[in-house]
Amino acid sequence: MLLKTVLHWFRRDLRVTDNTALFQAYSESERLVPVFCWDDAILRSPDVGAARVDFLLRSLHSLSRNLDSLGHRLVIRHGPPEEVLPTLAREAGASAVFVNRDYEPYSVARDARVEAVLTEHGIQLRSHKDRVIHEGREVLTRTGTVFSVFTPYSKAWKAKPLSWPAPRIGGPKAPAPSLGSLPLPESAAALGHPAGQSPCAAGERAGLELLDQFLEARVFDYDHGRNLLSEPNGTSLLSPHLRFGTVGIRTVLERLQSARTRTTTTVGQKSCDTWLSELIWREFYIQILANHPRVASGSFRPEYDQIQWRGTDAQFEAWCAGQTGYPIVDAAMRCLNATGWMHNRLRMIVAMFLTKDLMVSWQRGERHFMKALADGDLAANNGGWQWSAGCGTDAAPYFRIFNPVTQGQKCDPDGDFVRRWVPELKDAPADCIHEPWTRPLLLARSRYPSPIVQHDVQRGLCLEMFKAVKGASAESKSTPSSANE
């Protein structure tokens, strides 16, 4: 029997197609009330910055238009969810609130509070798996424990059946109740984030277009293109969409499978498999955070919390501002600060530079990234930082230290990326642009800073710093496929 009225509470699933809980809410009820709740605990969090709020807001505008075109109306409220949802459910006469599960510690605690208050009022909270293909404890080792190494996790993940996209919801089956709703602000400034600008088009349609453009051709060259900074981008640029759920993961995998059947070349097929691997890294880190929420506030390997980080505040600030004197690091940081975006290879380079060359705690870098990135996501960001610092589940060994010069030469061989973001070096020739200090006259004319540390010297100091706390388990067996130097 159908429920009379239900709410669907949108969080990280801002789309009308392939949305598991939304489709269930629609199918199991006579009347569906879609709702979004502005939560100050998130909006005012020091970890939330303008690029992310801007992407969220523009995705909400798109969601609202998509619901309108289907005949539904998005109800917007503002306040603590444990107050807003029960109040709205009572106003609407709803007997259940549908949600897609979220695995971050804040969200898990928030949902438990919401569920407790709803239950007091005789209203159910019905949660569904949607953000991932395999969640929580669905992928386990033979002895029933959670994987902490990627390669066997990935193998076990692939051995399990995939799930397929949920259909798009249809139009209303009965007139919606009349409910008050706040207008959506036009810009992030109204939400306290004045400089807001996200790096790519937001919303469900834009996300699907991005996916299709990538799967049309670039995915077949992903193995090669993902490590270069040249245009067009060799990666999909889908991360803000996967972060906010403007594209569903089942849709992504279904279309990837179909793309893979269109290529007959080994290179093309291998590239498709590598891209799948990156999507599995995403789920790997989500399950690590869900099963080990302590990683949000400390190293996965606790001995690494004893490291005496030697870096100074001034060095950290120079890194944040893109003023370290290492062109690839500075270009990457300036690009991040201006656009809310950074390429994966650059994320690894600047994270290694902060933790290993400057010897500043990975957690300071993690926080700066969270605030600046449009795709800032606790699980992936924390995983990426712990991997780079060498203290994570499946981390790069602590003694693996990227050389920022050779890294720059490999991913930006002509220096075009550096010239774009470090205009002081716009006249530098390609053969020295990643080490301008080798041409003192050029450096003096450019007003670009000299390196704030010497890589070779720091390398030795860093190894000492890590060795002082290193446990026997410091080395791990695998690394993200995108990390080969």
Ligand X SMILES: Cc1cc2nc3c(=O)[nH]c(=O)nc-3n(C[C@H](O)[C@H](O)[C@H](O)COP(=O)(O)OP(=O)(O)OC[C@H]3O[C@@H](n4cnc5c(N)ncnc54)[C@H](O)[C@@H]3O)c2cc1C
Instruction: Scan for tokens 């996916």, then name that residue.
Output: 211
Question: Catalytic: 30?
Answer: no
Question: Catalytic: 9?
Answer: no
User: Residue 333 phi/psi, 5° resolution?
Assistant: -70, -35
Q: Of 349, 304, 342, 345, which Cα lies nearest the Cα of 455?
A: 349
Binding segment for ligand X among 52-60, 168-176, 343-351, 413-421 (CB under 6 A)?
343-351
Q: Is there binding between residue 383 and ligand X (CB under 6 A)?
A: yes
What DSSP designation does 263 have?
Answer: -
Q: Is there binding between residue 347 and ligand X (CB under 6 A)?
A: yes
Q: Is there binding between residue 5 and ligand X (CB under 6 A)?
A: no
Q: Least distance (Å) from ligand X to the CB of residue 133?
A: 13
Q: Least distance (Å) from ligand X to the CB of residue 219?
A: 8
Question: Catalytic: 421?
Answer: no
Question: Catalytic: 38?
Answer: no
Q: Is there binding between residue 480 and ligand X (CB under 6 A)?
A: yes
Which of residues 74 and 401 has its CB atom nearest to ligand X in the complex? Answer: 401
Q: Is there binding between residue 236 and ligand X (CB under 6 A)?
A: yes
Catalytic residue among 9, 157, 275, 281: 281
8 Å CB contact between 221 and 234: yes
CB-side exposure of 333: number of CA atoms within 13 Å?
22
Q: Is there binding between residue 238 and ligand X (CB under 6 A)?
A: yes
* Count of residues that interact with ligand X, criterion CB under 6 A: 29
Alpha helix stretches (DSSP H) within 263-375: 266-291, 313-321, 327-339, 344-352, 362-372
Q: Is there binding between residue 316 and ligand X (CB under 6 A)?
A: no
Catalytic residue among 83, 138, 278, 424: 278
How far is Cα 214 from Cα 284, in angstroms, rounded to an integer? Answer: 23
Q: Least distance (Å) from ligand X to the CB of residue 321?
A: 18
Structure tokens at 238: 């889908």
E-assigned strand segments in 95-195: 96-100, 124-128
Preceding omega of 232 cis (within 30 degrees of 0)? yes
Q: What is the CA radius of gyration of the chain?
A: 24
Structure tokens at 428: 């530098």
Which of residues 101 and 343 has its CB atom nearest to ligand X in the complex? Answer: 343
| Residue selected from 20, 62, 388, 403 as contacting ligand X according to rule CB under 6 A | 388
Q: Least distance (Å) from ligand X to the CB of residue 369?
A: 6
Q: Least distance (Å) from ligand X to the CB of residue 480?
A: 5
Given 3-state DSSP classes, what are the helix, strand and coil percentages for the chain, each rounded to the nearest 5? Answer: 50, 5, 40
Q: Coil, strand or helix: which one is 140?
A: strand
Which of residues 63 and 374 has its CB atom nearest to ligand X in the complex? Answer: 374
Question: Among all residues, which ones are annotated catalytic?
Answer: 278, 281, 309, 344, 362, 385
Binding site for ligand X (CB under 6 A): 226, 235-239, 242-243, 278-279, 281-282, 285, 344, 347-348, 351, 369, 373, 375-377, 380-381, 383-385, 388, 480
